[in-house]
Structure 1
Amino acid sequence: MRCARSTWLSSLRFKVLLAYIAGVTLSILLIVSAALALVTSQSDILSVMNMAERTQELAEKLQFDADGRPVGFDRSETDRIWTYDSMRQEIGYRVLDASANVALTSTDASFWPANTSEHSEDHARFKFERQGILMYGATAPVEHDGQTWFLQLAVSERLMDLFHGAFALPFMGAGIVLFSLVLLFVFGACAYVILGYTLKPLREVSESAAAISPRSLHSRLQASSVPSEVVPLVDSFNRVLQRLENGYRTQQEFLATAAHELKTPLALIRAQIELMENSPGRNALLNDVAHMTRQAQQLLLLTEASEAQNYLFAEVEVADVAKEAIDYLQRMAEAVDVRLVLAEDRPGVGPWQADRSALFTLLKNLLENALQHAPRGTEIRVDIGRDHLSVRDWGPGVDREQLPQLFVRFWRGPHRRDHGAGLGLTICREIAQAHGWTLSAKRAEPGLLLQLSRREH
């Protein structure tokens, strides 16, 4: 669990997304700070601009009587007129004619300073102090029946601050929150998809690297589709594979050469011993030479089984190869009083795609291994199915902790009749892997069951 968590935290995608979230958070903080600074530092400008807009809106709703004099506002302003009546100390309006005479007002004359009666364009927006309170004002002209009137509106700074705090800041906050959510989720989803698409070649390269085995050391990782930052790593890995392949080939060639070179002197030594007169140590020498010869032969077989180019695949009837292996070992089985039994062919069992010679070697080694452990008077059963082949004996079997050792090179069980090289099952495993099959061992209670399984195509 700790390993999985550590892998997740070290993921490139997680780190990039974390950096993205940190960037979004910092951007939001900067936006909020800038907005607050703008509101704080330019409150006067914003207030005057709002006043001008409000004054113009109010001027457009001014109504006149039959004589062309202003008398009030249309019904859309009815719900707001109470503000001017109830808060005479904070807000007020008046309408002036062209001579600066007051025609309509919501306050007394003391509310307005004398200089605000001027209505030139330079005084469309103005400020003044009233009883130590800063007031914001604006003037808007109104044309009616050829006469120009001037509407003036004034609001105290503290009332505007109250309105901004109660209405403007919440709306601004809601806008920032909405923008932040869009930035976080929409762009976050896009970043996640783009990262997945960007990292896909890395996953493919990783899968290709994991599929490389001693049988496919010639394979190389493709660097054409990976990000440019990762190309040097892929190239370095390919160079490592090249060195591994060279070392593996050198090892295999040495093994084959050494085994081949040993066969001839061993044959000469055996011939010389056989020509010797009978002596107490003659048979022991012959047994030692036979053992060494078998080891050299199996080393050659192991080398051949490890090379994929040594296989020639074709459709093979497994039952025919099994019968051939049983016939080949019949004399050995009779010598130890063990019966080799081939189960009757099951319906639907078709040919396998295999190298016939390698399959024969595999079956022969499995049967030889069983013959070394099967008690006298018992049988060894070969069972062939559609996608599996098994060889079972009724011998002492293998302890559970020893099962993993069966396919290790040079490992020999304690109940063998001879002193084999311990390479037979290793060769079987190499042949199985070359065919894409799985060779496994199970306790049969009594005996041992060796099963070869293949994947359906």
Structure 2
Amino acid sequence: MTSIRRQLLLALLSVITLTTLLGALATYRTARDEANAMFDYQLRQLALSFRDQVFRSGGQHNFALDGDAQDFSIQVWRPDGTRLYLSHPRDGLPDKTPLGFATIDTGRGKWRVFGMQQRGQTIQVAQPMHSRDELALAAALRTVAPFLLMLPVLGVLIWVVVGRGLRPLDAVARAVSTRTAVALDPLPENRVPSEVVPLVRALNELLDRLKHALQAQREFTADAAHELRTPLAALSLQVQLAERAPDAAARAEAFGELKGGLRRATHSVQQLLTLARQEPGSGGQAEHIPSPLRLGELVAAVIAAQLPLAEAKDIDLGAAAGSGEDMLDGDEEALRILITNLVGNAIRYTPAGGRVDVASGADESGVFIEVSDSGPGIPAEDRQRVFDRFYRRAQSDEAGSGLGLAIVKTIAERHRATVQLGEAALGGLRVRVQFEPCAASSGPRAFSRAAASLPPGRPS
């Protein structure tokens, strides 16, 4: 497991060490430049101290040199190049060089040399460069050593300080651990550092969403239990009536009612399962990966499946003219359920001899599906409530689960679409599912061959 404290400790110690080393390098260069300037001055002063001396070939020349000058080598030449004096015989000592300052590489090391002429004689003072480098390095080490020795202490201090800085995270973790499914109160934002506030707010938003999800789940379970209790009680009563039927005709009638009740209960359970599978976070969504599809093909397939129900009520069901630009990226099975619920509701609530039109296409707002009928419609004040689960209008005589439009809304939200209710040109309800433009899929722009299976007499 990655530790923030350990990462910060390593990062800060690495930065401090790198900064210290860079400072040591800068100190070394500065000390070397200062040493060069100081030793160049000494070279010149040492050479000037010999300008009044008289050197004779073969003579003994004893000059008192203090300890600081023991590192220097002094040479004196005649004008003809004969060396008159050498203070310290050394390997790799540079020969006679031009006057002034110069840095000479003899192959055995670099020397800093200063030469001058006095009374026809050439005086040359030289010093090995490694002496200057050693002095500069010693100065840099003296500067850096305290910081390097303090690194363990800095590590301990950083560990303690970072630990104190991370205490608010521990407090947030403890506060989250106290939350339960029945106590999802938001985390307090007071006394929280500004850096931790975004985390606390994100957790509060998550807790709020979780709270609403759990509340919706509890309400859904309670509503489902309530809705299923009535048909199950009716089924139990119908079974008793069938058992007590005095003759075959009464028994057949009772069994007919029982079969109808079973169909209604089965439909309600199927709608409940469909809604549960379409809810966010359910396992049902992972089974279907969005892919390019044509709404026209789904419309044709749904109309073909719903034709027997429409013909039983003598309802004219077909596809209205569309733009043909009906390509969409979506979950085909979920959209089939959406269209089936819309068409099924329209057929169920449209009186016998009525008409239901289904259209799909695209406009300036994006791809859409539109279902219109000639039924009684829905009053404007009830158009928002019909999306609630298990809601059924009191004026409606049609039996249903009250979940059809709730399923439609859930699937539409999954596909980033909106569901709009309005008045249809046929006189009844118009339901329009409008998809965002980004959901449109590229592909050929033409109605598919599925239009050939639509009922005759309608434009395709």
TM range (shorter): 0.3 to 0.5
TM-score by length of 2: 0.43
TM-score by length of 1: 0.43
Larger helix fraction of residues: 1
Larger RCO: 1 or 2 (CA < 8 Å, sep 6+): 2
